[in-house]
A and B are shown apart, each in its own frame.
Chain A
Amino acid sequence: MTRGIWTRETVVLMLLAAYVPLALFWLWYGGTEAAQRLGLAGLVLAFWNLVFLLARAQPISLAMAITALAIAMLAPEGLGVFRLALGISFGAVMGELVFGGWGRNVVNPATVALSFLGFGFPGYPWPEFLAPVAWATIPAALIGVATGAMPAGVVTSAALAAVGAVASGLLPPAVLPAAGIVLVLLVADPVTSATTLLGRWLNGALYVGLVTLFALGWQGADPVQYAVAAALLTSLAAPVLDEMALALWYAKRRRRHGQN
C-alpha cells in the first residue's frame, strides 16, 4: 500500500531545513563558542532521549536537534557547563520526555529550559544577535511556512502585529531581532502553538502583544529575556486560544444546523 509522507520525522526534517540558514549564520558569527554550546546541548539532549528510549521505549526523534539549536542560541551566556546542563535536563525531561516525546508535549522543551535558566540564574547576560543572524529568520519563516511545517497563521499574524506595534511606536525596533528569532524557534513550533485557524492568528498576535507589554513595562530586562517569557506564556495560552476558536465554531454550527 502506498503511503503519504507527513509522518512526525518528515515534519522535523522540514523544520530543520527551515532552520538551516539561521543556524549557519549564527555559527558563522558565533565561532567555536557557539559550536561548543550547540554540541553540549545536543549531547545532554541525546543522553536524556537515550534514557527514555531504554526506560520507556520512547522512539528518539530528530526534533532534539531543533531543541538543541534553540537552547544554544538563546541561553544566557557564561553559565558554565554544569548550570547549562542542568537547565537543558530540566527542560527536556519536564517539558517533553515525561509527556511521551516530541509531538505529545504541551510546551516547547527549549522554552522550558530557557525559562528555567532565566529565572534560576538571573544576572547572567542574555545573548545579543548581529543583524545578519536576525535577517536569517526571514528565510527560515518562509521555508517553514512554504513546506507547511510551521503554522502560517502564527507567523503571519505575528509579523503583521509587529509591524503595527513598531509603526505605532509601542515596540522599540531594537527588540525585533530577538523577538523574530524566538518567534521562528519557539513560538512557531507546530506542536505547541494553537491548531485552529483563528487560534493561530490569536497566538501570533498574543506573542507580539506580550513582547510589547514586557518591552514597555519590564525594567532592566533584555530583549531575549522577555521574548522567551512571552513565548512561554503564549504556549501556555495556546490551548485556551484553541478552545475559544472552537467555542466560536460550535456556536456558528449550532446557529446553522440546530443542535451540534
Chain B
Amino acid sequence: MSNDLLQLAMTAEQFKGLYNYWIVIFLMMTGFFIVISRKNMIKTVIGLNIFQTSVFLLYITMGKVNNGTAPILRPEDAHHDDHSHDHADEADHASQIFLDQIADHTPAQNVSAGSEPAIALEALAETGTNDVIYSNPLPSVLMLTAIVVGIATTALALALIVRIREDYGTIEEDEILILDRES
C-alpha cells in the first residue's frame, strides 16, 4: 500500500519535471501532422513553422534553471571588472576557483553565482549568500541563430510556392501531380 503511494508520488514528481517536454512534443507532433497530412503547400509551410517553433521551445526549456534569472550580469559585477587591468588573469583565476569548487565542494568567497548555476545553488544552500542564479545562455544563443535561418528557409519556400502557382495555377499537391501526369 505504502509502496503504491510512493510510486504515485514518484509519477507526480516526474510529471512536474517532464510536462514541459511533453507539451513541446505534442506541439512538435501537431506540426509534423500538418506537414504530412495536408496537401496544400501553404499549410505545409505553416506546419513546418509550428514544428520549428516547438524545437526552439525544447531547447529553451532545457536551459532554464530553477529560481534562475535571465543571463544578464548585474551592474555591480560589470563595474567591478571595469576597474581591474589584467581582466583575463582575473577571470581565469575566478574560473579556477569554480573548478576547485566542483572538485571538493567548498564554497569560495566573493564568487559570482552566474558562472556556474549548479554550483551556485549549492553555494546558496551552504553559505546563504544572496548571489544571483542565471539560466543557461547557450540554448538562447543557438536558438537565435536557428530562428534567423528558419525565416530564411520559410521565405525561400514561399517564393517557390508563388512560382509553382504561376506555372500550375494551383498549390494543391495532388492537383499538381495530376497536371504533371497529363503533360
Q: Do A and B bind each other?
A: no
Binding site for A on B (CB under 8 A): none
